[in-house]
Amino acid sequence: MTQPEGHHPIVDQIPHLRRYARALLGDRALAEDLVQDSLERAWSRFHLWREGSNLRTWLFTIMHNLHANLARNASRRPQTSPLDEDFSVPVRADQEDRLEVAAIESALARLPEEQRQVVLLVGLEEMSYQEAAATLDIPVGTVMSRLHRGRERLREMLAGAAGNAGGLRRVK
Amino acid sequence: MNSPAGSGPILPLGDDDLHAYVDRRLSPERRAEVERWLASDSDAASRAAFYARLNADLHRSYDHVLAEPVPANLMPAPTHRRRVFDRRGPTLRHFAVAASWLIAGIIGGWSTHDLLVPPKTIERVVEVPGPAPTLTLQAAAAHAVFTPEVRHPVEVRADEAHLTRWLSNRMGKPIKAPILDESGWRLMGGRLLPVAETGAAGPVACQFMYEHADGRRVTLYMKSVEGEPSAFRYSEEREGMGVLYWMDAKLGYALTGKLPKEELKILARKVYDQFNS
């Protein structure tokens, strides 16, 4: 081969794609499948990537589109439980300074996917709002409103986990 | 908004500023304004604190994935690797594919001239009323089953040399996989399918799948038929899913996709031309 694989820019992004997929889908096997399919597509289409454009958003967009196709076509699959007004996630109250991993996972799973995507792209992958907008092909204003609704919903859900920290009361 | 006394904010402060504050997307000036706001508004301060802790906890929950070794199956396959690193690759590959088509066409044309009876009125697209023939039903069902697949959309991939040879053997007649790259549709591969009725070579049909750069997919379904060559016909099998189908002396063809009829027709014409060139 002409270059060592480790130097290919896509390779550097693989851990990030895996981390995001894991958090988005909440299931290791599903996430690995999605990443593998996304990378297959990315490798075979790398010649379509415009040099100088954002490789990271290109890759995340591929993954997002694949996942959206799957979700659309799997509408018969039982959905995650619908959101009602009152959904608190049971968590132990012995951790005051951080939200438990299990509580985070459970709360994320209950978030509408469009909000979960934005919360994760921004909060976990640390994309700029513009990058998140480009990845999801939505306006920046929509990114901001989904981010706000997602974080607020998580705040409601995780209010129990926050214990008695000031101000983190349940908002009805 | 309670704007603090003294230097009032240039723009009103709001939710977006809280998020941008914890995501470190603010200019130093704006950041200072937000901090003054938070100092005087405990509700905003507690929300910002939650957002920041949420970000930290997301990292705590998922950063371990970054450290996991990358499995070999996530690295490029040998064929992809060549294309990835050599941007002239696709051109050379297409050239080779074109050359092999030329040869296959010559051989195929020689041995299959009895199949090549063209539809008499190729430009006519007929809306078929009433229950659609089994060809379109089966094609639509196969389309609906396999196009959503991410892992196994096709049984044999297009880059495997034996794809058309295998399908030709099983179908008992020469099968070509038309190339539609010029129209933006890339051949992904094909598969063998069962049918209820038994044709000359057994109860088999086959399907090729194509994908557009935007993720849409169309399928070309073929099975043995007895009867007269037909014109292009159109049937909408289910919501938004059109089937354009026709027959020659021995095969029925059905091109299926969620495409406008005119677009399907253009593709069908190309398929037809390639089977008859």
| Per-residue pLDDT tens digits for A5-61 | 446 788 889 999 999 999 999 888 889 989 999 998 898 888 888 877 889 999 999
Q: Are B276 and B242 in contact (CB under 8 A)?
A: no
ipTM of the complex: 0.79
The predicted structure's pLDDT at residue A134:
94
Query: Beta strand B126-127 with B217-224: parallel, antiparallel or unpaired?
Result: unpaired
Q: What pLDDT, in 10s, does the model give residues A116-154?
A: 999 999 999 999 999 999 999 999 999 999 999 999 999
Task: Provide, as residue numbers in chain B, all residues whose Cβ is less than 8 Å from the Cβ of A150.
Answer: none
**Which residues 145-164 in chain A show a CB within 8 A of chain B?**
147-148, 151, 154-155, 158, 162
CB-CB under 8 Å, B62 with A44? no
Q: What is the CATH number of domain B113-275?
A: 3.40.1000
The DSSP result for B199-211, as a single string, is ETTEEEEEEEEEE
Structural tokens at position B212: 């557009």
Amino acid identity, position B160: E
Task: Give the span between the Cα atoms of A14 and B25, in whole angstroms.
Answer: 25
- CA distance to partner chain B, nearest, from residue A88 (Å): 16
Alpha carbon of B74 to those of A15, A17, A81, B77: distances in Å? Answer: 10, 11, 32, 9
Domain boundaries, chain A: 1-78, 85-172
Tell whether B47 lies on the interface with A, counting CB pairs under 8 A.
Answer: yes
pLDDT of residue B180: 93
B262 touches chain A (CB under 8 A): no
Query: Which pair of structure tokens corresponds to residue B147?
Result: 């196009």
* Strands B233-238 and B217-224, sheet pairing: unpaired
Question: Distance from A92 to chain B by nearest Cα, in Å?
Answer: 16
Rounded CA-CA distance A72/B106 in Å is 43
Q: Give yes or no for B148 touching A (CB within 8 A).
A: yes
- Look at residues B125, B154, B145, B148 and name the one whose alpha carbon lies nearest to residue B236: B125
Number of residues in chain A:
172
Does B51 sit within 8 Å of A166, measured CB to CB? no
Which CATH number describes the domain made up of A85-172?
A: 1.10.10.10
Per-residue pLDDT at A78: 38
Predicted confidence pLDDT, tens digits, chain B (277 residues): 444 444 444 678 899 999 999 999 999 999 999 999 999 999 999 999 999 999 998 998 899 888 888 888 787 665 544 444 444 444 555 555 556 655 555 554 444 333 333 444 444 444 443 334 578 888 888 898 888 887 788 988 888 778 888 898 888 888 889 999 988 999 999 999 988 776 666 778 999 999 998 888 999 999 988 777 788 888 887 777 889 988 887 889 999 999 888 889 899 999 988 888 7
**What distance in Å separates residue B109's CA from the closest CA in chain A?**
32
In whole angstroms, give the CA distance from residue B53 to residue A98. Answer: 7
What pLDDT is attached to residue B150?
Answer: 78
Q: What are the pLDDT digits (tens) for A57-103?
A: 999 999 999 998 877 665 543 334 333 333 333 333 334 445 577 88
What pLDDT shows up at residue B152?
81
A162 within 8 A of A168, measured Cβ to Cβ: yes
Give the helix ranges, DSSP H, for chain A: 9-25, 28-44, 55-73, 101-110, 113-123, 129-136, 140-157
User: What is the residue-wise DSSP string for B105-129?
Assistant: HHHHHHHTGGG-PPPSSTT--EEPP
Output the CATH code of domain A1-78.
1.10.1740.10
